[in-house]
Structure formats: structure tokens, C-alpha cells
């Protein structure tokens, strides 16, 4: 099975049901909520597939040309009108005009999926990035394509941003015999942040504010027709409850992540845990909030590295975390234990993340300099967000190759996966080694960017091409360097942590053993079984053991 077909199967499975997939998380920061006036979109793409960082160049086409839409096996599903000019994309998640798009699948009502339609959400994202200069244009392009050619996927939430504003767009199909789509889009007020995590989040929305809210003509009438909403109930129409009804299961799985993001960037709100724990009558979380302090890239990367540490849901605590406090849990998340249903928590940081990014758009700079895609492979907690300018012309080979079926040191994705998987053997110790390198590199990148912007700006005045070549070379150099450093980190970890010992700074193996807290739990669970008990003598380990 080749990697593209495997990827198609994974994504198709991902769109089947929210509760059985790895799913995704998005976080959106508006200009007024960021320290420097950036607009930022976070997208964690959580699925078990081998991604490829790449560049899609701009292109020109003749009038009347058609674009074939194919599945991941190369089969032609249909065709649409080709644009006369398409824009370059890096990632491919951000285009040359600093427009970026992220997504999370909310699933919603299964009967509204029409698999015979033409355009899946990922196809819509790519087509939209190729055809849009602004976030508003992207909203209109994506929805127009879905309405003209038919929406194929389940319910989807999109984050759409440019250097000046950000929108959240939610879309679902119209059923087996329907063609278009049902959708609503809201502009996030400046100074606020928003988030979504596999649960539709747009509830009530204004019907008479076209500058800040757009929607399909059928959004309410269709819900009434299908019995999803009764206008005589006295309740206001809410998109999320009509098309993605809440239940304790999806609230826990999805809204817990939204709560964690909001709770940590605005602790003053003291948001209750009741809603994401499914407590009846609990207050919903707002669609957007104002953070207690303005955010930069570093702060955003901190927010999306989370296992609910320091809360009642802390995944590094308890017997399930093992002796070394690992927050990672094997799938499935829903368990059957002696006929009873149990669930693991679903955090923002998950070992199943294929890639993630922080797309940063900056209005005070030329597009070629303003757009930066901070990109990372694998789990957000372990990755290293590396700056890639949106004008980058090519990507190093190590970041664009590899297969899920075969490990390779020539694949950056596999290098990052090796580090995160190996560190799970002794998480509490190894994560410190990983974060030391992570912080060193990311802090260096943050320090580099202003100098790179300034130098590129001077070159831009002389010749814009010189500036784009300069930034493209810089991006590639950092990507190459990160892949090399992470390979060195992998080799360091497997050398330092070997056979249950930990080597000191001189390379001498030290017996460290297990934490006392965990050993006490073991002895309590099996008293007198794990170790014999001596009342007067102390057990001695042979020196040559």
C-alpha cells in the first residue's frame, strides 16, 4: 500500500466519526490579542499518517480549462472550473498572501453526509488557499465551491485568517440527495481568541450583520424541515445544537480541550469544568474570549503543549501514568473494563499528531516577509516549531519523504517520532533533555526573526526576488539544522538511557531505579510479593549484578 493511498484511508476514517478517530485542535489569535499585532492560527493535525511538508508553486491557466478532482488513489471523481491564476502555498497550509486555514472535524448528523458529492474538506482547503488573497475572500470561495460542486465530508469547523482578521466557519452537508452545503461563518472580534476541537462551536448568530457574520440561505429552514429545530420552542436557533447536538461523551472529548486553552490564557474567567464534564444545565463556553495578557508565538506554543497538567485531569499523575509520569495513553480512548465503560482523557498534546503549525500573519510587512509558518512534526509536546517563511520556494528532502511502513533516519517525521516514542520509556527524565533542546532552538528562532525581517526588508527595497531567495534559504537552513539536531538528540537519549541505567555527565552508568511514590503503590498492591520482607536484615544487591 503506497503512502498516498494509506493517507486517503486514514483521512476518510478520520471523517467517519469523531469519537473513534484521533481528530484535531485549532486555536485562533486575532491582531489585538497578540503582542505584536500578528494574527495566528494553530492547527494540530492528529492522525496516524506520514505527512509531507512541501511547496505548491503559483500557476497560470488558460480560460476554460478544467481541473480534475481526484481521490488519493488517483481516480478522477469529477472536474471543476480552473482559476486563471493560483497562488503559491507552503505547508501546504499558508499561501503567499499570508492566508492560512486549519480545521477540526465535528462530524455532526451522520445522515447529512453525501459521499457522492465532489469536494471533501481537505480539497476545499487547498482550492481556497490557491484562490484567495484575504480571509473574507477565503470564506466566500470555500462556501461557493461547496455550494456549486457539492460538499462531500461530515461536519467541519475551519479556522481562516489573514494579516488583519480571523474567521471561524462551520459547514455540514445536506444529506444523500442534497448537493450544496449548510454553513455559518463568524468574524472573531479583534482582541479575542477562539478555539475549536471536533465539536461545532457556533451557537446563536446575527442574521443582519453581513460584515461579521455570513451564512447559507438554508441554514435555519433546513433544520426546521429536518426536525432539528422547533421555532415554537421559544429557544433561539443555535447552529451547533441543530447540527451537532451535545452529549456528555462529545463534550468531554472535545470541549475539555477548548476549556484548557481558555482556562490557561484567561484564568481570571475561572471557567467551570462542569460543561465539559457534561453536567446538565452548565454554562457553555463562549465562542471567543479576551486573554488576560496578549500572546506571542512562544505563549501560543506553550498553550498547545498540554496534558491538563496542574488540574484535576492531569495525565502525568496516577497509576495510569506509570512509574515515570507518562501522559500518553494507547488507543482506544473508550475502554470496556469488566463490562463497564471507561475513558482516557483526550488532551491537546497527543502522540497521534502527524504535524502541527502556528501560522503567523503580519500586516505591517510585505506578504513575502510577513507570513511565517512555524511547523513541527509529531506530538506538540515534543516537537520543535521551526520558522518557514511563506515565500519559501522549496523544502529540504528530509522533510518531504518517508513512509509510515518503514522507519528511516532520512525522514524528519520518523526522527521526531523516534524521540517521542523512545522517551516514553522514562518520560519524567527524558522530557527534560528534550525540552532543553526544544527551548534552545525555539528561543533562537524567535530571536532570529526580527533580524531576518529587517535584512529581508532592505533587500526587498532593492529587489523583492532577492528578499524571497534570502528568506527561502534561511527557512531551508533551519529545517535542515533541526532535523540534524533531533537526530543527535535521538542518539543522545538512547546512549544516556540504556538498559535501565542513566549515564552521568562523565558517561558512567548510574542506578536510579523507580520513584518512591510509585514503589509505595506497588507494595500496597502486592504486599510481600514483589519483595521479601526482612525484619532485621537489609536486602543487598550483589555488587556484580
196-233: per-residue pLDDT in tens?
999 999 999 999 999 999 999 999 999 999 999 999 99
Residue matched to cell numbers 515534543? 382
Query: Residues 260, 266, 270, 271: is their CA dihedral positive or negative?
Result: negative
Residues 292 and 441 in one domain: no
Q: For residues 448 and 463, what is the distance between their CA atoms, to the nearest angstrom?
A: 22
Query: Residues 427, 432, 433, 438: is their CA dihedral positive or negative?
Result: positive
Residues 213 and 290 in one domain: yes
Q: Per-residue pLDDT tens for 277-287?
A: 999 999 999 99
- H or E segment and range at residue 152: none
Alpha helices in 327-463 (DSSP H): 367-370, 412-423, 427-462
Is the pLDDT assigned to residue 511 strictly greater than 60?
yes
- H or E segment and range at residue 107: strand 100-107
In angstroms, the Cα distances linking 344 to 256, 338, 513 are: 12, 16, 27
Of 480, 472, 478, 473, nearest in space to 396 by CA:
480
**Average of pLDDT values for 325-353?**
93
Is the pLDDT assigned to residue 121 strictly greater than 60?
yes
Q: Would residue 246 count as lying in a domain?
A: yes
Residues 302 and 388 in one domain: no
392 in Cβ contact with 476 (< 8 Å): yes
Residues 79 and 172 in one domain: yes
Domain encompassing residue 220: 3-306
How many independent structural domains does the chain possess?
2
Query: Nearest 5°: phi and psi at 237?
Result: -75, 130
Is the pLDDT assigned to residue 309 strictly greater than 80?
yes
Q: Specify the pLDDT at position 310.
A: 96
**Average of pLDDT values for 48-65?**
96
Please give the distance of CA 228 from its chain centroid, rounded to a whole number.
Answer: 30
Q: Which of 287, 306, 325 is the last residue of a domain?
A: 306
Residues 16 and 102 in one domain: yes
Residues 297 and 152 in one domain: yes
Q: Which of 4-13, 58-67, 367-376, 466-475 has the lowest mean pLDDT?
A: 4-13
Q: For residues 504 and 496, what is the distance between their CA atoms, to the nearest angstrom?
A: 8
Q: For residues 57 and 88, what is the distance between their CA atoms, to the nearest angstrom?
A: 4
In angstroms, the Cα distances linking 487 to 48, 161, 241, 398, 415 are: 21, 34, 47, 12, 6
Residues 289 and 395 in one domain: no
Q: For residues 39 and 46, what is the distance between their CA atoms, to the nearest angstrom?
A: 23
Q: Specify the pLDDT at position 11.
A: 32
Q: What is the pTM of this model?
A: 0.93
pLDDT band (50, 70, 90) for residue 539: low
Residues 263 and 409 in one domain: no
Is the pLDDT assigned to residue 528 strictly greater than 80?
no
Is the pLDDT assigned to residue 538 strictly greater than 90?
no
Q: Per-residue pLDDT tens for 390-443?
A: 999 999 999 999 999 999 999 999 999 999 999 999 999 999 999 999 999 999
Instruction: Kindly state the percentage of the chain with pLDDT values over 90.
Output: 87
Residues 64 and 195 in one domain: yes
Is the pLDDT assigned to residue 543 strictly greater than 70?
no
Is the pLDDT assigned to residue 7 strictly greater than 50?
no
Q: Per-residue pLDDT tens for 256-293?
A: 999 999 999 999 999 999 999 999 999 999 999 999 99
Q: Would residue 271 count as lying in a domain?
A: yes
Q: Specify the pLDDT at position 250.
A: 95
Pick the more confident residue, 143 or 530.
143
Q: Would residue 520 count as lying in a domain?
A: no
Residues 407 and 261 in one domain: no
| Local structure of 518: helix, strand or coil | helix
Say what angle helices 412-423 and 464-496 make with each other, to 10 degrees.
Answer: 30
Instruction: Kindly state the percentage of the chain with pLDDT values over 70.
Output: 93
Q: For residues 450 and 91, what is the distance between their CA atoms, to the nearest angstrom?
A: 22
Take residue 544 and report the three cell numbers written for it: 556484580
Take residue 61 and report the three cell numbers written for it: 491557466
Q: Specify the pLDDT at position 492.
A: 98
Beta bridge partners of 119: 151
Mean pLDDT of the chain: 92
Q: Which of 280, 306, 332 is the last residue of a domain?
A: 306
Direct distance between the N- and C-terminal alpha carbons of the chain, in angstroms, rounded to an integer:
47
Residues 266 and 163 in one domain: yes
Of 138, 274, 250, 248, nearest in space to 197 by CA:
250
Q: Would residue 226 count as lying in a domain?
A: yes
Take residue 22 and report the three cell numbers written for it: 484521533
Is the pLDDT assigned to residue 18 strictly greater than 80?
no
Q: Which of 255, 290, 306 is the last residue of a domain?
A: 306
Q: For residues 347 and 25, what is the distance between their CA atoms, to the nearest angstrom?
A: 10
Q: Specify the pLDDT at position 525.
A: 81
Q: Would residue 483 count as lying in a domain?
A: yes
Q: Where are the beta strands (DSSP E) in 181-266?
A: 182-187, 193-196, 213-215
Of 221, 234, 225, 242, nearest in space to 170 by CA:
242
Number of C-alpha atoms within 13 angstroms, CB side, residue 300?
A: 32
Q: For residues 428 and 149, what is the distance between their CA atoms, to the nearest angstrom?
A: 51
Q: Would residue 185 count as lying in a domain?
A: yes
Take residue 461 and report the three cell numbers written for it: 527595497
Residues 298 and 382 in one domain: no
Query: Residues 128, 131, 135, 139: is their CA dihedral positive or negative?
Result: negative
Q: Specify the pLDDT at position 545.
A: 45
Sequence-distant (6+) residues with CB within 8 A of 90 are: 55, 56, 373, 388, 389, 390, 391, 392, 395
Q: Would residue 107 count as lying in a domain?
A: yes
> Checking DSSP bridges between strand 76-81 and strand 85-86, what pairing results, if any?
unpaired
Q: Specify the pLDDT at position 72.
A: 81
Q: Would residue 63 count as lying in a domain?
A: yes
Of 219, 147, 145, 135, nearest in space to 181 by CA:
147
Amino acid at each position: 500500500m503506497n503512502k498516498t493511498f494509506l493517507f486517503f484511508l486514514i483521512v476518510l476514517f478520520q471523517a467517519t466519526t469523531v469519537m473513534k478517530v484521533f481528530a484535531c485542535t485549532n486555536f485562533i489569535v486575532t491582531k489585538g490579542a497578540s503582542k505584536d499585532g500578528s494574527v495566528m492560527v494553530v492547527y494540530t493535525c492528529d492522525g496516524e499518517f506520514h505527512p509531507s511538508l512541501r511547496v505548491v508553486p503559483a500557476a497560470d491557466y488558460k480560460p476554460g480549462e478544467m481541473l480534475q478532482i481526484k481521490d488519493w488513489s488517483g481516480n478522477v471523481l469529477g472536474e471543476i472550473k480552473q482559476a486563471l491564476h493560483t497562488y503559491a502555498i507552503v505547508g501546504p497550509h499558508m499561501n503567499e498572501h499570508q492566508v492560512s486555514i486549519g480545521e477540526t472535524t465535528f462530524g455532526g448528523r451522520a445522515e447529512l453526509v453525501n459521499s457522492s458529492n465532489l469536494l471533501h474538506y481537505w480539497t476545499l482547503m487547498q482550492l481556497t488557499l490557491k484562490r484567495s488573497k484575504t480571509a473574507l475572500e477565503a470564506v466566500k470561495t470555500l462556501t461557493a465551491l461547496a455550494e456549486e460542486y457539492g460538499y462531500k465530508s461530515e461536519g467541519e469547523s475551519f479556522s481562516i485568517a489573514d494579516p488583519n482578521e480571523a474567521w471561524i466557519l462551520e459547514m455540514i452537508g445536506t444529506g444523500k440527495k442534497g448537493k450544496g452545503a449548510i454553513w455559518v461563518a463568524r468574524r472573531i472580534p479583534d482582541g479575542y481568541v477562539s478555539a475549536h476541537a471536533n465539536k461545532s462551536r457556533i451557537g446563536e448568530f446575527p442574521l443582519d450583520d453581513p460584515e461579521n457574520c455570513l451564512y447559507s440561505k438554508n441554514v435555519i429552514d433546513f433544520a426546521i424541515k429536518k426536525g432539528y429545530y422547533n421555532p415554537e420552542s421559544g429557544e433561539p436557533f443555535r447552529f451547533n445544537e441543530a447540527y451537532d447536538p451535545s452529549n456528555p461523551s462529545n463534550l468531554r472529548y472535545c470541549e475539555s480541550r477548548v476549556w484548557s486553552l481558555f482556562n490557561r490564557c484567561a484564568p481570571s474567567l475561572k471557567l467551570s469544568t462542569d460543561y465539559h464534564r457534561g453536567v446538565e444545565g452548565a454554562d457553555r463556553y463562549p465562542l471567543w474570549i479576551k486573554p488576560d495578557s496578549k500572546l506571542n508565538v512562544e505563549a501560543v506554543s506553550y498553550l498547545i503543549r498540554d496534558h491538563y497538567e496542574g488540574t484535576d485531569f492531569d495525565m502525568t499523575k496516577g497509576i495510569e501514568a506509570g512509574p515515570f509520569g507518562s501522559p500518553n495513553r494507547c488507543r482506544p480512548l473508550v475502554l470496556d473494563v469488566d463490562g463497564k465503560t471507561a475513558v482516557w482523557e483526550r488532551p491537546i498534546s497527543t502522540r497521534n499528531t502527524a504535524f502541527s503549525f502556528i501560522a503567523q500573519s503580519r500586516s505591517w510587512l510585505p506578504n513575502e516577509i510577513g507570513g511565517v509558518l512555524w511547523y513541527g512534526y509529531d506530538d506538540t509536546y515534543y516537537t520543535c516549531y521551526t520558522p518557514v517563511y511563506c515565500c519559501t520556494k522549496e523544502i529540504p528532502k528530509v522533510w518531504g519523504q518517508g513512509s509510515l511502513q518503514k522507519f528511516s533516519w532520512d525522514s524528519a517525521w520518523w526522527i521526531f517520532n523516534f524521540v517521542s516514542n523512545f522517551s516514553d520509556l522514562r518520560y519524567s527524565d527524558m522530557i527534560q533533555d528534550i525540552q532543553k533542546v526544544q527551548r534552545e532552538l525555539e528561543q533562537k528562532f524567535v530571536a532570529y526573526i526580527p533580524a531576518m525581517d529587517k535584512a529581508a526588508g532592505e533587500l526587498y527595497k532593492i529587489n523583492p526576488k532577492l528578499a524571497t531567495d534570502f528568506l527561502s534559504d534561511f527557512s531551508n537552513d533551519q529545517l535542515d539544522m533541526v532535523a540534524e539536531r533531533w537526530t543527535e538528540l535521538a542518539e543522545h537519549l538512547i546512549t544516556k538511557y540504556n538498559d535501565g541505567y542513566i549515564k552521568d555527565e562523565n558517561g558512567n552508568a548510574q542506578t536510579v531505579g523507580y520513584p518512591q511514590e510509585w514503589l509505595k503503590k506497588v507494595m500496597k498492591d502486592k504486599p510481600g510479593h514483589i519483595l521479601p520482607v526482612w525484619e532485621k536484615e537489609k536486602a543487598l544487591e550483589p555488587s556484580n549484578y
